[in-house]
Structure 1
């Protein structure tokens, strides 16, 4: 199983960057720079070892303050960059 890492700069949210590690189609680590520390640290903990496809389904489309996106939605967009076998 190949380890993968992406860095993603989100748009329309308070967070400045996501660094995500994955292996075998599962999230192994999510580091969020900027944003609401407690909420995003909790979200990061919940996503560890989750299948990438499952995380995308759960997070995609979540809106924050009628911005049309949110940190969870942006994490889903970041996760789409992984090549999942």
Structure 2
């Protein structure tokens, strides 16, 4: 799946989820390289709902969103059947 981010330095998030709702792969396009790689590694192997609960609402520099928040939005879109 690919989710186009809004309001962050990253431009998109690519992710895969297995049949059990567990995240198997996350890669950010753009953004702070070390931070986005760290977030990706931390969430791989976790259930979608757990990651949404932990990351939604995180703000970066007063933007009202962040790369982790955008990942939560991407996963929520996937749950709603709205992700590519």
TM-score, normalised relative to structure 1 = 0.89
Higher helix share: 2
Q: CA deviation at 1:81?
A: 2.2
Q: What root-mean-square deviation, in Å, do the aligned CA atoms of Structure 1 and Structure 2 show? A: 1.2
Which residue of structure 2 lines up, in the alignment, with residue 9 of structure 1? Answer: 4
Residues 1:18 and 2:13 are matched in the alignment: yes
**1:28 aligns to 2:24 (yes or no):** yes
Matches within 5 A, 1:21-60: 21-23=16-18, 24-60=20-56
Alignment length, in residue pairs? 79
Establish whether residue 61 from structure 1 lines up as the match of residue 45 from structure 2. no
Q: Deviations over 1:8-49 (max 9, x none)?
A: 000000001100000010100001110000011011000011
> How far 1:64 sits from its partner (Å)?
0.4
Secondary structure in structure 1 of the residue aligned to 2:71: helix
**Structure 2: runs of 5 or more not aligned:** none
* Inter-partner Cα distance in structure 1 for 2:67 and 2:27: 12
| DSSP-derived class of the 2:8 partner | coil
Segments of 4+ in structure 1 off by > 3 A? none
